[in-house]
Every structure is written in C-alpha cells, then in structure tokens.
Amino acid sequence: MLGAIPHTTDDRVLVDFRTADDAGVYAWESGPALVQTVDFFTPVVDDPYTYGRIAAANAMSDVYAMGGRPLTALAIAALPAADGPGADVIRQIFLGGHDALREAGVALLGGHTVSDQEIKFGYAITGAIDPSRILTNSGARAGDVLVLTKPLGTGIIATAMKFDRAPQEAAAAAIRSMTSLNRGAAEAMAKLPAGAVHACTDITGFGLAGHASEMAAGSGVTLVFEAAALPILEGAEALAGANLPGGGRTNQAHFGGAISAAPGLNRERMLLAYDPQTSGGLLISVQPSHLEALRAHLRDEGSGDHVVGRVEGPSPGVLVRLT
Ligand code: CO
Ligand code: CO
Ligand code: CO
C-alpha cells in the first residue's frame, strides 16, 4: 500500500517499507538506532484479555524479528460507540496487552482510541537496535539453513474456534503460541556473532509461503522447505481442509504463482503454508556453521528450533519450493 507514496531520500533511514520489511530503522544519533512498527487487528479470539495479550505480542514481534529490543508502546484502539462491548471487556483487552508489554519490559506511554463499528486493537512499538546488526528480508544466501521458531496453524485453528469446531487442546495450543513472545528467539540470535544470521522475518498475515516469498525476492534466492519438517500445531492439520481463513485463499492467489510444490505433496501441509498466522514465529536464515549454536540458544530461551529447509540460488519464476 505504501508503494504509492513518493519516497524521499534521508540518510538516517536505514530500513523502510521498500524492502517489504514490517519495521523501519532510523539512525537518529550515533549509537543504537530507533526501530519502529505498528500492528492492530480485529479480535482473533473471544476472550478479551487473551486478545489484548496476542495483539501486544504480535505488535512487538516485528522489532524482535529485526534483531531489536522493544522499549515503548502506544496503544491504538477502535471501539464501537453504541451497542459495543462493556467497560469491563475493554478493560480486559487493555489489561492483556499491558501484561504482555510488562513481560517484555516495554513501557506503555499512551495511545489513542477512535469509535468504529468493529473492535480493533494493537500497538505502535518503538525499540532500539544496533545499526550494524539489523536483520531484514534481504540478506539470505544460498547454502543457509532455515529455522522456524513456532508451529503453523493459528489462522486455521482460530477460524475453527469461531465456529466451535476446534478441539479444546487445539485451541489451547494456538492461544499458547499466539501469546508467547518472540523475545527469546531474538535473544538467541543476538548471542551469535554478528553476521551469523543472514536474514529474519516473522510469520504473520501472509503465512509461511508469503513471508518466505518476500524473503526470497528481497534476497534474490529460492527458499526450499521440507513439507514434512514443518512444525504444525496440534489439531491444525485435521482442521485445515474445512477451516482455511479467507486470508489463506488470498495468500494462495497472491503468492501461489511463484511457489512450486512437489507432485503428490500433502494438501493439508500446502494449506498450512498459506495459513495467515497471528503472532507467528521467526523464520531465520542462518549460516550452517552457526546452526547448532543457534538451535541450542533457542532451546535455552524456551523457543522452538525447527529446521525446516534451506536456501538455494535463484530459480526463474520460483521463489519458494515445497518438497
Ligand atoms: Co512482520
Ligand atoms: Co507487522
Ligand atoms: Co489522541
């Protein structure tokens, strides 16, 4: 959407929307640079407190994906004026967000509320980042190994939850995943020497296939995933066929042209690759010599350490291959 806006050149802007990254970096003075991002959305779960937690975890995620430390937050809320949720529900949303921010050590400075027909909630986040260690979509190199830190399937399970079709365990697993911060994964990457991680993004609305396509395009490479190695939330595979959210079909239409799937590939896995994620994990492109150290740090931080594929050189017309 921002593509239509003329860009002005400013040497202090180190990363912006032109590389399809979800956070921007601004070198305001010498030393750490500012990293900024914003995210808000309609409720993904019924429980208001959980919705607030997820919105905060999701908003901070783009800062973690870039290798930054979130510091401050501004809340953004759209609330129906008439026939809307009661004061207690609204309070629970803000409380859930507050608790996730507090877990991350992020200070809530303020925010802004407007009235709208449908509830929307989220945050603008500002953090600090070492300008020599910014991780973007555009650094993946042929030979890298791809690591994913959270399982897929939150969109499918959330859709099933809306229609009361999700088993209790599946719903609980999806909520655990969506409320957990990508902070540990960011800290694991920070423990590696500079240059060990070549690229990183978080998996959100475009799904694994879409965000991987952006990384492949930004880096001039092909991302190759082992479908059987993709971590999947409990219950999501069985729900996939009947519960792919509308965003999953949009992702398929938008990114499918540059995605090649091995003949006979399991259909549910394919749907899961397109499933839009809320507060999904980090996709990390790491130099193979640092893979085992990264995985050990991820496990120490309580984060997933799933090896899901590798990076190959460019292939004409194909950004992502599922084998
Ligand atoms: Co993102
Ligand atoms: Co975002
Ligand atoms: Co205001």
3-state secondary structure 209-259: HHHHHHHHHHHCCEEEECHHHCCECCCHHHHHHHHCCHHHHHHHHHHHHHE
**Cross-strand bridge partners of residue 34:** 26, 128
- For 129, the token pair is 């980042």
Distance 61 CA to ligand 1 centre (A): 7
- Ligand index nearest the alpha carbon of residue 76: 3
Residue count (the chain): 323
Is residue 87 helix, strand or coil? helix
The pTM of this model reads 0.94
- Ligand index nearest the alpha carbon of residue 110: 3
Q: What is the DSSP letter of 28?
A: -
Distance 293 CA to ligand 2 centre (A): 28
| H-assigned helices in the chain | 48-65, 87-104, 154-162, 168-179, 183-190, 207-219, 236-243, 246-255, 267-274, 291-300
Distance 4 CA to ligand 3 centre (A): 27
pLDDT tens, the chain, 323 aa long: 666 777 778 888 898 888 788 888 998 888 899 999 999 999 999 999 999 999 999 999 999 999 999 999 999 999 998 777 888 999 999 999 999 999 999 999 999 999 999 999 999 999 999 999 999 999 999 999 999 999 999 999 999 999 999 999 999 999 999 999 999 999 999 999 999 999 999 999 999 999 999 999 999 999 999 999 999 999 999 999 999 999 999 999 999 999 999 999 999 999 999 999 999 999 999 999 999 999 999 999 999 999 999 999 999 999 999 99
Separation CA 272–CA 243 (nearest Å): 10
For the CA atoms of 85, 89, 91, 97, what is the dihedral angle to 10 degrees? -110
CA angle 297, 303, 307 (to 5 degrees): 80
Distance 114 CA to ligand 3 centre (A): 9
Separation CA 169–CA 54 (nearest Å): 18
